[in-house]
Every structure is written in structure tokens, then in C-alpha cells.
A = this chain, B = another copy of it.
């Protein structure tokens, strides 16, 4: 009698989880992929949904559709409420109730969420950007700010609605600030009668000394120059001390801004705490070199939830290529162990292909190690790279079409305010 195949449970359908599942397609395993949402999200373009350049389905694809032909995978739409590593069980919250799932191997790849560093009450005034729902809420908030300014009768109120602040000068903050400035300067031109959207102030606030701190210093400088050319006011060197409905305080000074966006902090998914192993300051799991956890060689962590260093001591960054590589590495380890082959326990090696960040129309920075460049060429490089990695032919063509039209006309296709009053009150 043949033994029943090992059961691999993967939590999270992001880059790490999905790439692990695909790398196990020919393995003698039974895979259950659990996610809270029904889709894989191409997170690098999420800011485009928040800024009305793309619509939600352009950058997402149903997990079931992606995996339909891989018959050893079952997708489950559920929330993981608990993990019992001793019993090798995952507890799922389905709409139908709680269920337990036994595993032989577990890959926890539930990613990251916003972190407000002990200031959870800021979330109300300064929402973050991690999911498609976040992006649509943010789109609504940004578009409504211009509507409120147009309707305002008090000049101070009008200026307050035309003041935007992005907190955090990492890639997401830079993308949001640059694109928002472009919208104000170009996209909305001529559409309002009482306000001039080009007068909107977009501030990018970074606590550290420079924006894009994961890039070399010269590229940070060039990013700042490009941002300023787009009309963004860059404030570095001091953290925000408070955020309210009316604006933010920094260096003891209060700055008026009715719309504040949080792009400053990322914390690991709270599921990491279920494993009973040491976490780092951001809540990420300190994995062993092969991405398993101490004491449980059958439990792996990958993607943004995993804390692991490169040979030179720098951390593996929380970017999509790293997550994909980790996912594949875990799949390789599981296959090697099942086959009793060498390769089980092999340490994960991050292959760094470079670092890209876009800033706005025709502005980006690219760091390929020896080769660094910025500006228009970098933007084209960024665009081709992102189109190439976007899943699915249809998505690629739609996104390319949207970008072409946006490029020539300065128009953004998705400037639709969704969500009735009942929703806006709760968000």
C-alpha cells in the first residue's frame, strides 16, 4: 500500500506562498493554500490603484484561477486564528465555523501589515496601504479631498483640504507623493471652478536623513531632486510626533493637512507570534538559515514575515523577488527531504538583482549594483520590469494600455469614488 502524500499547508497567497505552491507542482504532496482573500495581489503596483491609475482587478488575479491546473493544490478562503506547532495543526476561521487542519509541513507566509509604533490611534487619520481595500479607501480619500476643497467657502478650509502629507520616505511613500503631485499638477487641470488643484501642497515626511534609505546615497539625492521637480516638498530628519484630523506635528510645529497617508512602518503579521519562537523588533520570525524555525524543521517562514540576514550581515529586504526566492527555497527543501536527497537543510541565499523605485511620470531610480541610473531611462526600465512580472497576459495588456493612455493624456482611468456614506463613516 502506498503511503498517502505528505500534506503541505501554506498560509498566504502572496509572492512567497504562491511561488512555493507552484514550485511543488510535480512533488508527491497534497497542498492546502489558505488566504483571507481570493486573490494574489501584485503589491508593487498597489500605489497605482490608490492613485487611480489602475483599477483593482488590473493588479490582482484569483488564486483559484492561477492554480486551477495544479491538481495537488486546494485553495481555502479562510482566516488562520491559531497555529499549534506541537500538534501540527492550523486552526481556520471559515464562514462556516472553526476547523482544524493537520499538516506535515507548514509554510507561514502571511506577510506584513502597517505599524504605527505604539500610536494605533493615528490609523484613523493616516491610513496605510497594504491591501486592495486599503488602496480603494485611499483613492476615495484623495479624490474626495479635492471635492471638499472645491466645495469649501472658507479659504483656510480650502487650503487645508489641498494639503496632503505622506508619512514615510520609503518606496511606497515616494511613489505616492510623486504620483499625487502629478495628479494635482496635471490630471485634474481644468476640472474645477473654485480651486486650482495645481496649488495643492504635497509633503513627504521622512524621519531619517534621506528618502529611499535602502538605495545608495547618490540615488536618494537624485530621487529627492526629482520629487521636488514634480512639486513635492520633502522634509527629512525628524519623525512626526502626532497626527490628528487636522494635520501632523513634527519638530514641535503643527502642519495643517486634512489628508495624511501612512507609509512609514511595517510590522510582521501577528501570526508569527503563534509559533513560540523568537521574533525581531518588527515582529518577524528569526528563522534558521534554511528558513525553518528552531526546534521544528517541518515549519518554515518566508516572505515579509521572515527575518534573515545576508552573509554580509545586511537583512534580506522585504521585496517581491526575495519573497519568491524564499518560497521556492522552502519548496526545494521539502522536496529534498521527501526524497531523502541532499539539499535538505541547505541555507537560503538571496540573489539580489537590484533595487528599483519609481517616483512619478518619467522619474525613477535604478540600482543594479555597479550600474545606477535615474530619470526617464530608469522609469522605462522600471515599467518594463513591472509589466514583465505582472501575472497574466490580459493584465499586462490592460496595464500597458492604461499607462500608454495616461502617458499621452495625463489622464488616470480609475478616478471613480466608490463607497456610500455608510462606508465613509467607518473608514
Contacts and interface: CB of A to CB of B under 8 A. Distances in A.
Interface of A: 37-39, 52, 55-58, 60, 62, 64-65, 68-69, 74-78, 94-96, 132-133, 136, 143-144, 147-148, 150-153, 157, 188, 190-193, 393-395, 397-398, 401-402, 405, 411, 413-420, 422-423, 426
A38 B143 contact: yes
B417 A398 contact: no
B77 A38 contact: no
B133 A420 contact: yes
A390 to B, nearest CB: 13
Contacts of A74: 193
B148 A95 contact: yes
A259 to B, nearest CB: 14
B151 A78 contact: yes
Contacts of A55: 55-58
Contacts of A62: 191, 415-416
A148 B96 contact: yes
A394 B398 contact: no
A144 B64 CA distance: 13
Contact of A68 (B68, B190, B413, B414): B190
Contacts of A75: 191
A65 B419 CA distance: 20
Nearest to A417: B38
Contacts of A191: 62, 64-65, 68, 75
SS of A interface (majority): mixed
A406 to B, nearest CB: 9
B416 A426 contact: no
Nearest to A395: B413
Given A65-B411, A191-B68, A132 B38 contact: no
A405 B62 CA distance: 16
Give the 6 A-B CB pairs with smallest separation, nearest first. A57-B414, A64-B191, A55-B55, A38-B417, A394-B405, A55-B57
A39 to B, nearest CB: 5
B96 A152 contact: yes
A9 to B, nearest CB: 15
Contacts of A418: 56, 132-133, 136
A387 to B, nearest CB: 15
Nearest to A157: B96
Nearest to A397: B401
A147 B63 CA distance: 12
B420 A147 contact: no
A65 B191 CA distance: 6
Contacts of A413: 57, 394-395, 398
A342 B343 CA distance: 90
A216 B326 CA distance: 62
B414 A77 contact: no
A31 B419 CA distance: 27
Contacts of A417: 37-39, 77
Contacts of A192: 64
